[in-house]
Amino acid sequence: MKTTPRPAHAAKLRTLVAGITLFAASTPAALMAADLEAGKASAALCVACHQADGTGMAVPNGEPWPALAGMDAGYLLKQLQDFKAGARTNASMQPFAQMLNDEQMRNVAAYYASLPPRAGTPSQASAELLAHGEKLALRGDWDRYVVACVSCHGPGNGGVGSDFPRIAGQLPEYIKAQLIAYRDGSRANDPIDLMSAIAQRMTDHDIEAVSAWLGTQSAPNSSRN
């Protein structure tokens, strides 16, 4: 009885993996062989914080747990590798990354990439703050050389390949924490310092605004188009 639905399910998964491979031109070849089933099994380690659907959670005054669902698999894999190697530090993540071998990392990254992304949610922030955030995200503020998010994070801030993550729909608390970390140098695993250089020009007000606005946005899943 248990075996009957399996082939269909497996075929669906193969289609999904093929879809990922087709659309994410920059996804490393290693991810092509990802086993989503095994990735889902490894994700048992992650669900307590990142939630069963991978859309993350922010508890008041706690560490924000980012949405992983629908993020680019190559990006997620790199973050796991960086946590394991210490290139990106986080006391909560490090022990979990240590538990995963290379294959498990590939699978779990592909699994989260295959889930539907977190949709934008309404913000309690003031209209004025959101307007400032929208301006920074879409046009930037060139008088202070704060480059628009969309310049690198792509159409709808939905991410570009494995190098520029989808930030639309991400938890505002998480975006804020990362921009602060890039600004103070406690996170520095961005390629060519691209994010750090810009974060260093951002005020607290900018960070608050852009995080709030991006959290309200929904973007297509960059991995699956």
Partner 1 sequence: MAGYAIRAELVKELSMNKKNPSTTHRLKHATKHLANGVALAVLALPLAAWATPAEDAAVPPETLERLQGMAPGAPLPKPGQFVHIPPTMEDLEASSLHPKLKETIRRGHDLFTHTQQLRGKNVFNDMNCSSCHMGEGRLPFSSPVWPAAVVLPNFRPKNGHVNSLEERIAGCFTYSMNGQPPAYGSDDMLALAAYHQWLAKGVPMYQPGNTMYGRGYPKLAEPELKPDVARGQAVYEAKCALCHSADGSGRKQNGKVVFPPLWGDNSFNWGAGISRLFTMASFIKHNMPLGQPNSLTEQQAWDLAQYIDSQERPQDPRYTGDIAETRALYEATFHKDTLYGTEFEGRILGDHSNTGEKPFLKPEGVLRSRDFSGRATNTN
Please report, as ranges, the residues that interact with partner 1 according to CB under 8 A.
132, 139-145, 147, 151-152, 154-155, 158-161, 163, 191-194, 197-198, 203, 205-206, 220, 222, 225
- Closest CB 100 distance from partner 1, rounded Å: 26
Helix axes 102-113, 73-85, angle to 10 degrees: 140
C-alpha dihedral, 168 to 51 to 77 to 162, nearest 10°? -10
Cβ-based nearer residue to partner 1, 10 or 197: 197
> Tokens at residue 106, please?
């590939």
Backbone angles phi, psi at 141, to 5 degrees: -130, 95
Which residue shows structure tokens 């093929």? Answer: 18
Backbone angles phi, psi at 105, to 5 degrees: -60, -45
Cβ-based nearer residue to partner 1, 23 or 37: 23
Q: At 65, is the secondary structure helix, strand, or coil? A: strand
Cβ-based nearer residue to partner 1, 8 or 142: 142
Q: Which amino acid is at 143?
A: D
- Closest CB 150 distance from partner 1, rounded Å: 9
- Closest CB 101 distance from partner 1, rounded Å: 27
Backbone angles phi, psi at 83, to 5 degrees: -60, -45
Q: At 146, is the secondary structure helix, strand, or coil? A: strand
CB 125 within 8 A of CB 205: no
Cβ-based nearer residue to partner 1, 64 or 165: 165
- Closest CB 131 distance from partner 1, rounded Å: 10
- Closest CB 206 distance from partner 1, rounded Å: 7
Cβ-based nearer residue to partner 1, 100 or 179: 179
Neighbour tally for 52: CB within 10 Å: 11
> Tokens at residue 16, please?
């999904």
- Closest CB 35 distance from partner 1, rounded Å: 26
Cβ-based nearer residue to partner 1, 57 or 130: 130
Partners of residue 146 on adjacent β-strands: 141
- Closest CB 6 distance from partner 1, rounded Å: 33
Cβ-based nearer residue to partner 1, 49 or 129: 129
Helix-then-strand count for the chain, H and E: 11, 0
